[in-house]
Amino acid sequence: MTQALIVIDVQNDFCPDGALAVPSGDEIVPGINALMQQIPCVVLTQDWHPGDHASFATQHAGKSPYDIVDMPYGPQVLWPDHCVWGSAGAAFHPDLHTDPADLIIRKGFRREVDSYSAFFENDHVTPTGLEGYLRNRGIERLTLVGLATDFCVGYSALDAARLGFDVTVRRDLCRAIDLDGSLAAAEKSMREAGVALV
């Protein structure tokens, strides 16, 4: 079975001192680099937002980061401004090996809709194109690593399992934001969807 490694959002803004820092987010970089040597297809994702993205609390009068608002596609957590396209915060962590990547997929680039998953935007219907790429290459088995376990990794894993891929999440190569129990909830959903958490 052909396998791919999907490296989710290992970007400066999700690492210590970043705008939306995930605790110890940078610790996973050496392990991810090593794993790239063992898997024949490597895909990197990049959270990539315009400066006025609707997921930013600064775009909503009277709201603060981590408040929840209703968007046309459902509830949306508001975040500090992060991963603004072209900024240093949106760049990959400087130690992450990017040369082994066959594909870099960007997501969240439409102002009005967020995209946690590497497969679908948060409306759950607009595809990013990643599914087609993987299927075209005959890839059936995915290993997911990166940031953050309870948001972009979790939603990517759930979508991948629903699409019929065989999905493993390497918990040792992920780190979580853990907002109000979101890590436990994400792990429960992943297990129920048949994702292997190892």
Residues classed as catalytic? 9, 107, 152
Q: Does 79 bind ligand VGL (CB under 6 A)?
A: yes
Q: Are 49 and 84 in contact (CB under 8 A)?
A: yes
Site size with Zn ion, rule: CB under 5 A: 1
Enter the DSSP assignment of 6. Answer: E
> What sign has the CA pseudo-torsion 84, 168, 2, 5?
positive
The only residue of 26, 47, 150, 187 in contact with Zn ion, by rule CB under 5 A? 47
Q: Are 46 and 188 in contact (CB under 8 A)?
A: no
Q: Does 47 bind ligand VGL (CB under 6 A)?
A: yes
Q: Is 72 helix (H, G, I), strand (E, B) or coil?
A: coil
Q: Does 92 bind ligand VGL (CB under 6 A)?
A: no
Q: Closest approach of Cβ 60 to ligand VGL, in Å?
A: 15
Q: What is the dihedral of CA 17, 5, 194, 152, to 10 degrees?
A: 30
- Residue with smaller CB distance to ligand VGL, 116 or 165: 116
Q: Closest approach of Cβ 53 to ligand VGL, in Å?
A: 9
Question: Under the rule (CB under 6 A), what is the footprint of ligand VGL?
Answer: 9, 14, 47, 79, 116, 147-148, 151-152
